[in-house]
Structure 1
Amino acid sequence: MTTKGRARKGGDAMPANTQDLLLKAAADLFYKKGYSGTSIREIGLKAGVSNSLLYHYFKNKEEILFQIISIASQELLSSLRGIEARVDDPAERLREMLLHHMITHGLRNKKTTKIVVEENYWLKGKRKAIVDEYQREIRAVYMKTLREMIAQNQMEDINLTVLGFSIFGMINWFFRWYKESGELKPEEIGDTIVKFIFNGISKK
């Protein structure tokens, strides 16, 4: 989330991490209070940034939300494509993708993950279209792997549209109900969900 320093009209460079501070402050507030319950003034106050400086980086609150969601989506997409390129066996690839999506990416970035899942509908127009395209690309990586599993006779010939949305439904609900204070570790829950999915799709 880094950005290079920018020059003020007077020639002074703005701090290189100002945008990062604003995005982090916004993510904290959106996570706790929701997008609609957070004012842009609160974001500036939490980041210790004046309104005039905040508006140098972001036109409005929606642009801040867009940046949080788009950065998180790009990071997830890049990681999934990395797994796709590295793991040849589609069944093992799916297992690794699911665990990464839920645990490595999801719970370790729980604030932004929750925002992506629950607040994305506030985006409009071009911003919404861009974020929707990231989500389509993420689904496409999964769908390609599922098609390979069918081609290699590793899973039942299930309707992939239904299966794909079912998998994403489980992942998204996991982020909603998981509590750090629970008895099970994230890895244990992740393994259980992956086993549940594989028991439902694997060839008997």
Structure 2
Amino acid sequence: MSPAKRKEIFARLKKANPRPTTELKYQTPFELLVSVILSAQATDKSVNKATAELFKVARTPQQILDLGVRGLKRYIRTIGLYNTKAANILKTCRLLIEKHRSRVPATREELQALPGVGRKTANVILNTAFGQPTIAVDTHIFRVANRTGLAPGKNVLVVEMKLLKAVPEEYRHDAHHWLILHGRYTCLARKPRCPECVIYDLCEYRAKVK
């Protein structure tokens, strides 16, 4: 795919959605961190439903710790893998208190040292909470990048590295959200909504739906 075509793709995505952002509901970097940990293999809608009640009673690392494992599980038990996620969140809260003065760190290395935080989660936090031009490659972005020809790759890390090179600098900060939303609502896995796609004529997917 040519640089000109890539630039036009993001120009159109921006025109369609000038200010994209996460669909997770949060008010602080810590709330976002908890939400992203909970969102693994779960929908944003289910996470928002759980955190709406959780954040009414616990919005800081210490308040989450004070709930204890049983108290935390009471709020997140509707989310998949909640036992593991509860344990990771509590461990993360302890580390935030002990090593970071209860603040969410703004470096990839420090974030990935937290239980339950991998590269994708770290990228989401760096981008959404701290404004860094990172791209967190989830299943939606991986599919869109490969299907359209924007940044094809055999694994998420390869796709991430290619996107960081391929996305024009002016669009890099918001690329993460544009691609996720495009994959979530238009470029669906089983039945892509090609006739509704704003980048239909630019997409290099051979099996496009007419």
Provide TM-score, normalisation by structure 1: 0.30
TM-score, normalised to structure 2, is: 0.29
- The structure richer in helix per residue is 1
Which structure would you say has the larger Rg?
1
